[in-house]
Amino acid sequence: MLKIAVLVSGGGTNLQALIDAQNNGKLPGGVLSLVISSKKDAYALERAKKAGIPTKVLLRRDYATQQDYDEALLALLDQNQIGLIILAGFMTIISETVIRRYENQIINIHPSLIPSFCGPGYYGLKVHEAALRRGVKVTGATVHFVNEVCDGGPIILQKAVEILPGDTPETLQRRVMEQAEWQLLPKAAALFCQGRILVQDGQTIIKEE
């Protein structure tokens, strides 16, 4: 079984989607083995503990330099023999050192259809505010590999979500989570753990079962 680490900073709704998928047998080939939080009070830690998943709090401010933090993070991943890293609302910078070590082994969920409303400054409600401000009729979510470019790694899965009249950033955020994020992230994790994702020339190919 491929060991999975989930990196969190907040409530952990995407973590819960992964836990539910595992409990329902929809994470074949993988097991949630570690949850790392950038905040001591993140509710995601409670979700992990309830599910019996080991947790660790790793605070950037506890380390004098980015290199020190990177070494601590990499040591933690190595000790737990992690084969897949999932960023689920993780708000601490992942450096190139970590990305290079785990090339095409780190996946992230972004609440838009990349390349729209992505990159530096686009996170959380800001993404949905921008979509509504622009007046687009469709938004969605994207699961992608993480590389040195913010939201620029190879796309794995996307799902569209309709924008409805009267939507607020909050209602849109909730619907994107329910209709796209919570479905895509466990599916992408399962595909990775089954060895069904190939990356060629910066693009992904999903192998048939």
For residues 31 and 78, membership in a common domain is answered with yes
pLDDT at residue 93 is higher than 90 = no
Q: Are 52 and 35 in contact (CB under 8 A)?
A: no
Domain boundary among 80, 102, 124: 102
Output the pLDDT for position 58.
97
For residues 116 and 195, membership in a common domain is answered with yes
Domain coverage including residue 79 = 1-102
In the residue annotation, 110 being an active-site residue is answered as: yes
For residues 112 and 16, membership in a common domain is answered with no
Q: What is the pTM of this model?
A: 0.96
pLDDT at residue 17 is higher than 90 = yes
Domain count, the chain: 2
Q: Give the mean pLDDT of 100-104.
A: 97
Using alpha carbons, select from 167, 14, 181, 171 the residue that is nearest to residue 112: 181
Of these residues, 47, 110, 128, 144, which one is catalytic? 110
pLDDT tens per residue, range 40-59:
999 999 999 999 999 999 99
Helices 169-176 and 125-134, axial angle in degrees (round to 10):
110
Using alpha carbons, select from 168, 206, 189 the residue that is nearest to residue 21: 189
For residues 3 and 30, membership in a common domain is answered with yes
Share of the chain above pLDDT 70, in %: 100
For residues 6 and 90, membership in a common domain is answered with yes
pLDDT at residue 177 is higher than 90 = yes
Output the pLDDT for position 209.
81
Q: Give the mean pLDDT of 23-31.
A: 97
pLDDT at residue 2 is higher than 90 = yes
Residues comprising the chain, all counted: 209
What is the average pLDDT score of the chain?
97
Q: Give the mean pLDDT of 186-196.
A: 98
Q: What is the CATH number of the domain that holds 67?
A: 3.40.50.170
User: pLDDT tier at 129 (50, 70, 90 boundaries)?
Assistant: very high
Q: Are 4 and 19 in contact (CB under 8 A)?
A: no
Q: How far apart are CA 120 and CA 138, in angstroms?
A: 21
